């Protein structure tokens, strides 16, 4: 089975790359990975050429416009990548009979729920980013191509830019850190998400995959403030520098360009039942991420 990964240099893209190229990767998978330079999703001719050359059975799209606040002032750029380019990609997948595995976000929801969102819940994005991702999802569903849309949330890892790394930096720079305590979610270790995506491939290869929308995220719900506490507690055990004080803020006290959902926790139940993969263990993910960052620092 030929698998191509788009967005290889993002945090999820790097995790997919590591796991798909590892000796313990599922057998029978031939992988090609593409950076933005090698396959720019907004260059429709380049996308078509890539398909014509590689004739993929499966395309994993880990590329996206992910700058949530910046999207508010760059709506056309965000829409181009998260919606128009995804619509084109789905169309080309249909033409080449390739399966599209696409990653979406918890920010397609309005956040008014008091329980983790299930896949059938109504969407209601609050931000430009969330809206463009929702329109990308809709375009895939409408295209008729075989697809898995996997919504995830609060992704962190040793790669790229993410909340955990921001907290570590602030912990080095400041004695006092303030974090929002009234936004709830389900943090997801990107390596767990990559593993979950890879676990769908044998079902796809056997042509017995139930297509549609799934959620894959952390198994327990916390606030950003609680997440920061967990990160600093784990960092302390590794002798990493942490702030003396962490205080809780309300969303009103920490205005951002893009509004955030109050509770965007996702339920992974359907994914677990369908593919036999447990929700992300973000607690363990924090430990693993810190261990990898410590190793990287020791090597420098």
Ligand X SMILES: NC(=O)c1ccc[n+]([C@@H]2O[C@H](COP(=O)([O-])OP(=O)(O)OC[C@H]3O[C@@H](n4cnc5c(N)ncnc54)[C@H](OP(=O)(O)O)[C@@H]3O)[C@@H](O)[C@H]2O)c1
Residues that bind ligand X (CB under 6 A): 6-7, 9-13, 35-36, 40-42, 62-64, 66, 81, 103, 105-106, 133, 152-155, 160
Q: What is d(CA 201, CA 55) in angstroms, rounded to the nearest whole number? A: 16
Distance CA 76, CA 53 (A): 30
Q: Which residue is nearest to ligand X (CB)?
A: 10
Active-site choice (65, 129, 189, 214)? 129
User: Distance between CA atoms of 105 and 186, rounded to whole angstroms?
Assistant: 11
129 catalytically annotated: yes
Q: Give the C-alpha separation, 57 to 3, whole Å.
A: 6
Measure the CA–CA gap between 125 and 35, rounded to whole angstroms. 28
- Looking at the Cβ atoms of 13 and 56, the one nearer to ligand X is 13
CB 4 within 8 A of CB 59: yes
**In the complex, minimum distance from the CB of residue 94 to ligand X, in angstroms, rounded to a whole number:** 20
43 vs 236 by CB, closer to ligand X: 43
DSSP-derived pairing of the beta strands 245-249 and 176-180? parallel
Tokens of 52: 């014509």
To the nearest whole angstrom, how small is the minimum distance from the Cβ of residue 173 to ligand X? 22
Give the shortest CB-206-to-ligand X separation in angstroms: 26
CB of 53 to ligand X, least distance (A): 16
Q: Which is nearer to ligand X, 41 or 201 (CB)?
A: 41
Residue 215 vs residues 119, 138, 157, 267: alpha-carbon distances, Å: 7, 16, 19, 6
Minimum Å gap between C-beta 37 and ligand X is 7
| Tokens encoding 34 | 């593409």
The candidate with the shortest Cα–Cα distance to 105, out of 88, 85, 128, 74, is 128
Cβ proximity to ligand X: between 81 and 235 the closer is: 81
Q: Which is nearer to ligand X, 157 or 242 (CB)?
A: 157
Residue spans of alpha helices (H) in 97-176 = 128-143, 163-173
**Catalytically annotated residues:** 129
């Amino acid at each position: 089975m030929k698998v191509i990964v788009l967005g290889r240099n993002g945090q999820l893209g790097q995790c997919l790359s590591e796991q798909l190229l590892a000796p313990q990767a599922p057998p029978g998978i031939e992988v090609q990975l593409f950076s933005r330079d090698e396959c720019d999703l907004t260059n429709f001719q380049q996308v078509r050429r890539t398909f014509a050359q590689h004739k993929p059975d499966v395309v994993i799209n880990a590329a996206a416009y992910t700058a949530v606040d910046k999207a508010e002032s760059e709506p056309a750029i965000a829409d181009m990548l998260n919606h128009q380019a995804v619509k084109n990609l789905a169309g080309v997948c249909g033409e080449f009979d390739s399966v599209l595995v696409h990653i979406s976000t918890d920010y397609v929801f309005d956040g008014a729920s008091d329980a983790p969102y299930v896949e059938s819940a109504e969407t209601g994005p609050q931000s430009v980013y969330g809206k463009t991702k929702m329109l990308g999802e809709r375009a895939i569903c409408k295209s008729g191509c075989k697809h898995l849309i996997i919504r995830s949330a609060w992704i962190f890892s040793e790669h790229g830019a993410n909340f955990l790394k921001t907290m570590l930096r602030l912990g080095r720079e400041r004695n006092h850190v303030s974090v929002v305590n009234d936004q709830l979610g389900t943090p997801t270790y990107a390596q767990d998400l990559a593993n979950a995506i890879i676990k769908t491939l044998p079902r796809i290869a056997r042509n017995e995959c139930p297509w549609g929308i799934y959620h894959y995220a952390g198994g327990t719900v916390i606030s950003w403030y609680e997440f920061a506490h967990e990160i600093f507690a784990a960092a302390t055990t590794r002798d990493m520098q942490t702030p003396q004080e962490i205080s809780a803020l309300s969303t009103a006290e920490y205005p951002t360009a893009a509004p955030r959902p109050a509770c965007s926790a996702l339920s992974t139940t359907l994914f677990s039942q369908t593919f036999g993969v447990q929700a992300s263990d973000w607690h363990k993910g924090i430990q693993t991420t810190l261990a990898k960052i410590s190793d990287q620092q020791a090597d420098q």
